[in-house]
Structure 1
């Protein structure tokens, strides 16, 4: 059973491959995201600063970011990265999504400055929701996410009918998969092969993007976490 995974080519991909190996399936690593830092630094005077990824934390730390207000992490992985770099995490949402962050901050942030420090592909759900709650929202783009040169081996395997499952961890990984297939002239065949496989998406926003692009989604875990996604998809294969 061949399971495609699209995480960036760093420890996240290595950990994903090791996890899939331990679950008894054959990982097909095909990184669909590459980080291009912008060199920007988050504001330091905001009442709340929201970080949405481990990568964002690392880049902020490299820029010697020193916040004066409360620090908010989107989930446990981001919180762990913040703490590992010496930052105190003040708030964590019950649901590790943009909507969860809005629910967490809506009653706290009215009239306050909220800094959102993230990639160039962050969801409007977060910034729009905070604006609607009466916050003064400032966004800093810490990095851009691009498709690595050569990405797309998974699209070729899907087009050949040789893909058992795929694990999409963001809307952008879905778009980049289909763009890579388009460049190879196999978009329709790759989409058909993907829809014959078991497709897992890490959360509702990724699922919505996939379905809008014609991808049939089979699994969305209760928790927006890669390990939960991988385990749910492999359990589905075994069932």
Structure 2
């Protein structure tokens, strides 16, 4: 103890530089801890802001998805009015002629839009939604272009003899779709119409199936009675 006191008495002047070093070190630690505290607060703020923004974007996207799918449905409904009505397609055959660039573009656009359509309630990331929205826009534009051209041209691409054949087929289809006709008359008219159309236009499967279901139903009711 006496030696320590003697040492302290002889080297008392070291208290000042050592104290300065210790004080500086302690101040540095305090500043570092304060900076870490502020960084944590800022990081938490940024995360909270990002979460709030993501929620806002997600909610906006849901509304936009609903809007785009409704537009998709509207175009589908326009096309279905043609696809399920063979008589109308005979009037505007370009809509099912895949040799026509506008027709091909429309059908390709429909396939892409249908492929990208989300399931009900499905959450889309921004890029997937943008792809779907753009696909529907292309589908709408390409259908409008094909429909306008089909209505303008009607059957003008066919020869007079071919137009007469198409007209006979259209009248036969009207009989096949007429519920007032007998089942036998409807069936015979449908068969003749398909023969007339063979080689002129490709009958869409949905239109054929709808007519065939109606005729089959009449035949079944005729057997029961």
Both proteins in one fold, TM over 0.5? no
Q: Which structure: greater helix fraction?
A: 2
TM-score (norm 2): 0.26
TM-score (norm 1): 0.25
Q: Which structure: greater strand fraction?
A: 1
